[in-house]
Amino acid sequence: MNMWMALALAFVAAAVLCWRFSSPNSLFHVLDHPGERSLHHQPTPRSGGVALVLALLLGWGVAVGMGGVAWSDMMSWLSAGVVLLAMVGSIDDRVDLSPLMRLLVQLLAAFFLLAAGLVPQQLQLPGLAVALPCYLMLPLVVLYVLWMTNLFNFMDGMDGFAGGMAVFGFTTMAWLGWRAGDEGFMLAALIVVAASAGFLVFNFPPAKIFMGDAGSPVLGFLAAAFSLWADRDGLFPLWVAVLIFSPFIADASYTLLKRLLGGKKIWQAHREHIYQRLVQMGWSHRRTVLWSYVLMLAAGLTTAMALNQDSTVQWAMMIQWVLIYIAIIVWVSLREKRIG
């Protein structure tokens, strides 16, 4: 009962706050005006991330109060990172902070996770564990957190997209946490799912509200934090979380590399992600996001099923997903050439 109350409160709070923030009379009614790099065509509120984070913190508070999630130094640092990123993101949605300022704030949030002790003892791959010295592991963890934090921000450019990845990704991690016997981890992850689902009520295409910078970096930060948490406690290794979120990781990494090689500024907004190119080719937001959900679900299910298999099967599954993403990139490129 405690679990369901926390989940219900997170979902309802996110939905109600998104409904409220969509109103022009709300203090949090901040409009995202269409530009040459946007996929939307009319001004839309972008304060949904504030609603999501408030609902998330409410759900966590209720879960801790009822004993479903144990409060610890780690949860304190994790919550501090969420609040910091949400507050600065909310300011950024209004006044456009510099990329350097955003990076410094994200770096501080990453150090919060180091302070929480979320540093792997070794780097695990299927059938292989590599112990790295502290002076290598610490910067790798910081880079991982920074990349995941920005990853969601890069990919939050279409109705229902980032919220959907959060629902599928954190649901899979919650199920793996439950299977490993850690109900606290499971509940904390499911509260992220519930808050994201409440946001999706108003963000599924056609969206009535966007997540904005108050929400998408927080979800990326949490994806990194929960994967490091699971790795530290032996629930599942880090490579599993990377594959769960691979639909976002593959698109963002490929697009970033392509822009770097093309001499473009990687921090500038653009419309070069695979999902953006599909919309520009004529796919509707709904069609694109629904097919993306299929990909997200398949990534989560196959990763979860492969976790208990031997290392040969796990490596085969990883290679399979690399080939799938290469095939998608090639197909989109060929399709663009055909169209024009």
Q: Measured between alpha carbons, how far apart are the two ends of the chain, in Å?
A: 56
Check pLDDT > 90 for residue 226.
yes
In order of 101, 106, 264, the CA distances from 212 in angstroms are 17, 16, 23
Query: Which range (71-80, 90-99, 298-307) has the least confidence?
Result: 90-99
List of residues 6+ apart from 257 with CB closer than 8 A: none
The pLDDT of 309-335, averaged and rounded, is: 94
Window from 23-37, 45-59, 82-96, 159-173 with minimum mean pLDDT: 23-37
Q: Which one, of 338, 18, 65, lies nearest residue 197 by Cα?
A: 18
Spatial distance between the Cα atoms of 138 and 107, rounded to a whole number of angstroms? 12
Distances (CA, A) of 100 to 90, 104, 146, 292: 16, 6, 13, 31
- The pair of structure tokens assigned to 63 is 């879960």
Residue 43 pLDDT > 90: no
Where is pLDDT greater, at 200 or 26?
A: 200
β-sheet bridge partners, residue 124: 129
Q: Looking at residue 68, what is its pLDDT?
A: 84
Residue 121, pLDDT score: 86
Residue with tokens 């299927």: 126
pLDDT at 116 over 70: yes
Distance, in Å, from the CA atom of 212 to the CA atom of 306, rounded to the nearest integer, reads 35
Contact 215, 89 (CB under 8 A): yes
Q: Which of 76-90, 119-133, 172-186 has the lowest mean pLDDT?
A: 119-133
pLDDT of residue 131: 87
Q: pLDDT tens digit string along 166-225?
A: 999 999 999 999 999 999 999 999 999 999 999 999 999 888 998 989 999 999 999 999
In this prediction, residue 153 has a pLDDT band, given cuts at 50, 70 and 90, of confident
pLDDT band at 29 (very low <50, low <70, confident <90, very high): low
Q: Is the pLDDT of residue 300 over 80?
A: yes
With 0-12 / 13-18 / 19 or more C-beta atoms within 10 angstroms meaning exposed / middle / buried, residue 214 is buried
Q: What is the pTM of this model?
A: 0.94
What's the pLDDT tens digit per position in 234-247?
Answer: 999 999 999 999 99
For residue 35, is pLDDT > 60? no
Residue 138 to residues 84, 224, 241, 320: CA-CA distances in angstroms?
Answer: 21, 14, 19, 30
Given a cut of 80, whether residue 315 has pLDDT beyond it is yes
CA atoms within 13 A on the CB side of 166: 36
> For residues 149 and 220, is the Cβ–Cβ distance under 8 A?
yes
Give CA–CA dist 53/87, Å, rounded.
10
288 near 279, Cβ under 8 Å? yes
Mean pLDDT, the chain, as a whole number? Answer: 90
Quickly state the pLDDT bin for 44 (edges 50, 70, 90): confident
> Which residue has better confidence, 275 or 265?
275
Predicted local confidence at residue 231, as pLDDT: 95
What is the C-alpha to C-alpha distance for residues 141 and 134, in angstroms, rounded to an integer? 10
CA–CA separation, 32 and 159 (whole Å): 13
